[in-house]
A and B are shown apart, each in its own frame.
Chain A
Amino acid sequence: MEAALLDKLRAIVGPANVLTGVDLSPYVVEGRTPEAAVFPGSVEEARSVVEVAGAAGMPIVPWGGGTAASVGTPARRAGLVVGLARLARLIEHEPGDLTVTVEAGMTVAALQSALRARGQWLSLDPADPERATIGGVIAANASGPRRHLYGTARDLLIGVTVVTGEGAIVRGGGKVVKNVAGYDVPKLFAGSYGTLGILVEVTLKLRPAPDAERLVSVGFDRLKDAGAAARAVTASDLIPNALDLLDAEAGRALGLAAAPALVVGFDGLLEQVEWQCAELTRLTAPLGGHRIETLSPDTWSRLVTAARSAFDAPAALMKLAVLPAAVAETMEQGANAARQRGLGTAWSGHAGIGVLYAALASPPESPEPGPIATVLGEWRALARAGGGHAVLEAAPLAVKAHVPVWDDPGAAERIMQRIKAQLDPLNILNPGRFVAGI
């Protein structure tokens, strides 16, 4: 990076908050080192940083906890990391309003602990909450098992403050739980991977903390039966807050007594949780359910990564969206496709939502991208055949060269490109990382 630009950045945020050289190690993504990393301490500083970088044509990589930093098409130029670590305050929490406004760099764990102290919680449970930031979770649309009942960032986000690529501070939505004034700008930022603006402040809907919560696992001999059990739960009076399906490999990685398994969560009054656990047993037994066990509370946060944790160094991770009723079948077909090429897999997924996480084991010998790419292509075709799509969430660059990270968005591609062109006309925010070349 040119010295003149560095000087300007240091003048804005203070020299201690600009990293260069070897200090950039934590921000290396897929072997690429950013040109610098800068940590604004206020919204205004963030705005100035973007303005200065934009004027110099320097691409900007918004950075929360870095948990999803490698998701996406590899950037042509590493650019300037704009870290949110210093924008991490809780701005306003009024329990009676069931809303909270926070700076985007606050970690999920820090926010949850502040909310729990006042009897509430944010019903969003992504992996790695100690590192993942609120802004990052929204930008990457990260979620966890409780999305079954409570939805994802789009359902909880009611207001945003963003710094645009042109250095403007824009507010969208508001601070009230119901609001149709103007366009729903917050929706646009959920899952936008930092390509439309840097989230600096967000307002979210909250829920009261439940009296009781329990996570139970029901083992099955066959994945197919577990899938049928998931459908039976969906069609019943039960109101689970999580309904995950794990194949034998993912189940073992999670330490379940029996797998394949259906892992089901319940919350509410204690008597409601207990009644539902009993009802679950009654419902699943005729379908082959056995070895019902109550899981420890720390299992919740490991569920969403169960598939990837089956392997020390998986060759690739793919996230597939399919119809809920097709979850078990997709898992079986996907695993077969890999097996035919001698590759191991592990699968977990949200059976009521139709979102699957698949991990592909590395080939035992020289890691040729060929078979890996073939399997990933077949997985994607499986998802597409059912009207869904697949995102390659992690893979070596050699594999990414063969398999596009993002799926084809079809005719909607043109609208997305026009949105990007309208809202980030300098094309300065995470250029080239997202869907449709955005």
Chain B
Amino acid sequence: MATLTDSRKRELRRELETVVSPGAVLSDPDELLVYESDGLTLFRALADFVVFPTSAEQVAAIVKLANRESLPFVARGAGTGLSGGCLPAEGGIVISLMRMNRILEIDYDNLLAVVEPGLVNLHLSWAVGPRGYYYAPDPSSQQACTIGGNIANNSGGPHTLKYGVTVNHILGLEVVMPDGEIVWLGGKTRESQGYDLTGVFVGSEGTFGIATKAIVRILRKPQAVKTVLAVFERIEQASGAVSAIIARGLVPAAVEMIDHLTIQAVEDAFGCGYPRDAAAALLVELDGLTVGMEAQAERISEACRDNGAREVRTARDEAERQLLWKGRKSAFGAYGRISPAYMVMDGVIPRTKLPYVLGRVNEIVATHGLRVGNVFHAGDGNLHPNILYDPRTPGEEARVVAAGAEIMKLCAAVGGSISGEHGIGLEKTDFMPFIFSATDLTFMQRLKSAFNPTGRCNPGKVFPTRKSCGEAGPVAYRPHPIEEKGLAQRF
């Protein structure tokens, strides 16, 4: 851990200010607090500086300065991550990319756009929307999260079932390497030669360098969209319906599951039209050609009814469709109505193991004396159990963490993974051995060394660590630092 004297810190601040501008460097502890956490407030770590560059050259200069001073550095987007991936685990410099948020080029003929990393995900779809195009990856935080953060985490979202995750939509990246060199990986063409550096950079959680420009694919909006809601008396029926839909030769754009507890919360909060007494609901979305849409929706309905759905209905219009999606997308917020706090888990299992795993998840959480709500991407087996708890009750949070670890073990045991979209970050480093051998991890460490030989670029992430890093370890629940300061509140 780097320790800087106050006078050295003042000198470095002045030097950073000459790289960016006087208004683009923070080093006052009160200001730094905002950057102490991401969306997972369980972890926190304080930077020495937060810097706001506006160009790749400025990022490169900051990185070179950090190297000269042997200071660690980490890139940060909107801070909506859920694994502590952008925290300055060992102090040093947080490089915020929020001022690099321009769309540099849109090329409709070649279906691509060149953007800066601080661009908010949804803003890209807004920009190309009027011409009938959109950017496909749609994480639930897409109104706030940035393309750069999506690249670091290889973010997914409900519609990745059909359209793939972030990596399937990135063609090329301008990257400031951990030594400060600016390099292009990939480019505008759909194929690049040599190793797939773009592919391996995406999802490297900020440990391979800092992306300063991205060439992304844009897609034409589908001609038609249809959303089906299927309601079940038992959760196993809903799980069975997911497999049945796939087995009947359909790949919907999205298949989302919402369980009983979550339906209650959502109905309390928003009244989206889900039946309160249902054990589970499936939200299935089809998109594509208008021709054949009815026939496909009928096939979906059949698969659901054959698996015991008591009710299957199709959104009559865009307003009803939006309402149904609101229930899904606002579920996390709705838990606030029924619990003082919750912690979202992220694991993946083979789709066919859903009935067994959901049952076991409920058992595990009950064993720890807690409640769980499930709202997740059932179509690709990406679970999001949300464990509800009260942080004011002593020991309750420790039980949440323990239950979380058991759920991850369960995912690993059935042939799944410990993260589908939130990443390893700081949160899950010690779970990596659940799915990777020491040899596998060494191989990945060596790959990291090829990009980041000094380890100064986002240290403490992804790999299991023997030493825990001071403030970076899990601590008892606290609100986000800016909530504590009364500067913001949680919705």
Minimum C-beta distance from B293 to chain A (A): 9
Shortest Cβ distance from residue A209 to the other chain B in the assembled complex, whole angstroms = 7
Task: Report Cα–Cα, A321/B191, bound state, in Å.
Answer: 6
State the CA gap A387–B215 with chains docked (Å). Answer: 13
A323 lies within 8 A of B195 (CB): no
Which residues on the A side are within 8 Å of B204 (C-beta)?
Answer: 183-184
The interface-forming segment of B47-55, B117-125, B414-422, B477-485 is B414-422
What residues on B are CB-neighbors of A406 within 8 Å? 193-194
Chain B residues positioned under 8 Å from A178 (CB to CB)? 156, 160, 165, 348, 377, 380-382, 417, 420-421
Task: Decide: B450 and A235 in contact? CB cutoff 8 A.
Answer: no
Q: Give B428-471 interface residues, CB cut-off 8 Å to A.
A: 428, 432, 435-437, 439-441, 443-444, 446-451, 453, 462
Cβ-defined contact, A174 with B154, below 8 A: no
Return the contact of B193 from the options A169, A179, A180, A409 (Cβ within 8 A).
A409
**Contact, CB under 8 Å: B194 / A409:** yes
Interface residues of A in 92-124 (CB under 8 A from B): 94-99, 119
Partner of B199, one of A119, A190, A268, A271: A190
Contact A180 B420 (CB under 8 A): yes
Contact of A321 among B165, B189, B444 (CB under 8 A): B189
- Bound-state Cα–Cα, A172 to B200, Å: 12
With A176-B417, A208-B250 as contacts: A411 and B184 at CB distance below 8 Å: yes
Q: Are the CB atoms of B350 and A415 closer together than 8 Å?
A: no
Give the docked Cα–Cα distance between A152 and B177 (Å).
27
Chain B nearest Cβ from A428, distance in angstroms: 15
Residue of B nearest to A195 (CB): B195
B352 interfacial contact with A, CB 8 Å: yes
Q: Is A391 an interface residue (CB 8 A)?
A: yes
B289–A276 CB distance below 8 A: yes
Which residues, 102 to 146 on B, are CB-close (under 8 Å) to A? 108-111
Cross-interface CB contact of A175 among B168, B246, B350, cutoff 8 Å: B350
Secondary structure at the B interface, as helix, strand, loop or mixed, is loop
Q: Kindly provide the distance from the CB of A188 to the nearest chain B CB, expressed in whole angstroms.
A: 5
A68 at the interface (CB under 8 A from B): no
A-B pair count, CB < 8 Å, reads 260
A-chain residues with CB within 8 Å of residue B319 when the two chains form the complex? none
Complex contact B350–A354 (CB within 8 A): no
Contact A170 B380 (CB under 8 A): no
Docked pose: A110 CA to B187 CA in angstroms: 35
Q: B185 an interface residue at 8 Å Cβ cutoff?
A: yes
A415→B197 contact, CB < 8 A: yes
Q: How many residues of A contact B (CB 8 A)?
A: 84
- Provided the pairs A96-B246, A170-B443, A171-B437 are in contact, do residues A181 and B194 lie with their beta carbons within 8 angstroms? no
| Given A97-B351, A389-B189, CB of A423 within 8 Å of CB of B168 | no
Given contacts A207-B251, A275-B291, A355-B191, A181 and B418 within 8 Å (CB-CB):
yes
Q: Which residue of B lies closest to A435 (CB)?
A: B194
How many chain B residues touch A (CB < 8 A): the figure is 86
Contacts of A438 on B, CB cut-off 8 Å?
194
**Which residues does chain B contribute within 8 Å of A231, judged by CB atoms?**
109
Query: Cβ of A239 < 8 Å from any Cβ of B?
Result: yes
Indicate if the CB atoms of B449 and A239 lie closer than 8 Å: no
A44 CB to nearest chain B CB (Å): 14
Nearest CB on A from B134, distance (A): 14
Q: Which residues of B in the span 195-231 have a Cβ within 8 Å of any Cβ on A? A: 195-197, 199-200, 202-204, 220, 223
Chain A residues engaging chain B, CB cutoff 8 angstroms: 94-99, 119, 141, 151-152, 154-155, 164, 168-172, 174-185, 187-188, 190-192, 196, 207-211, 231, 234-235, 237, 239, 268-269, 271-272, 275-276, 321-325, 353-355, 386-389, 391, 406-407, 409-416, 418-419, 421-423, 434-436, 438
Additional pairs, 4, CB under 8 Å, beyond known A180-B422, A387-B189, A438-B194: A154-B196, A325-B109, A389-B192, A409-B193
What is the interface of chain B, defined by CB distance below 8 A to chain A? 108-111, 153-154, 156, 160, 164-165, 167-168, 177, 181-185, 187-197, 199-200, 202-204, 220, 223, 243, 246-251, 288-289, 291-292, 295-296, 348-352, 377, 380-382, 415-424, 428, 432, 435-437, 439-441, 443-444, 446-451, 453, 462
> 14 A-B pairs, CB-CB below 8 angstroms?
A170-B440, A171-B440, A178-B377, A181-B436, A184-B200, A235-B220, A269-B295, A275-B291, A324-B190, A354-B190, A406-B193, A411-B182, A421-B450, A434-B194
